Amino acid sequence: LAKQIASLDHLSGGRFIFGVGVANKTDIEEFRTLKIPYLPYAERYEQAVPWYEAALELNAKDANVSTDLGVAYYQMNQPDRALEQFAHSLSVDPGHVKTLLNVGIVRAFGKQDLEGATTAWRQVVDLAPGSQEAEIARRALESIAAAHQGLGAASSPESTR
């Protein structure tokens, strides 16, 4: 477990807090460092969930909305529910790279499952090698590989770009 915690801390650039995840979701500079757009309303997940659920009632095959709902569950400290929602997203669109990237994030940070995270992130790199999601996945895989021999290593020629 200590080795996994060290990997998560390295992967998050020293911002990992055991039992919580990456620290301070309201720190604009942290969002910039992680290259994630800062949304001042990002803490309103409980308010967003019913809207996402209602949107899915109208169109259950919208992988983007389904994935956003999964992210909201994860941010509400419900990683199992998030993974269930991502499974729905992937049943609609098996190659949805945004979903796969988030599966990796939840597996790594919410479940401390680095093997599961590695599998998801490798899929992102293989499916969309030139995308922003692939770049994020590639960096995560490199961090895991640096901390854990055998994990995160390239799985295909695309993974090494």
Evaluate the CA torsion angle 131, 59, 36, 119 in order and state its sign: negative
Would the pLDDT of 147 be above 90? no
Q: For residues 49-61, give the mean pLDDT.
A: 91
Q: What is the per-residue pLDDT across 117-146, written as a single tens digit (0 to 9) for each?
A: 999 999 999 999 999 999 999 999 998 888
Q: For residues 73-77, give the mean pLDDT.
A: 93
DSSP output for 22-72: ES-TT-HHHHHHTT----TTTT-HHHHHHHHHHHHHH-TT-HHHHHHHHHH
Instruction: Specify the pTM.
Output: 0.70
Mean pLDDT is lowest, of 100-104, 137-141, 149-153, 155-159, for 155-159
49 vs 80, higher pLDDT: 80
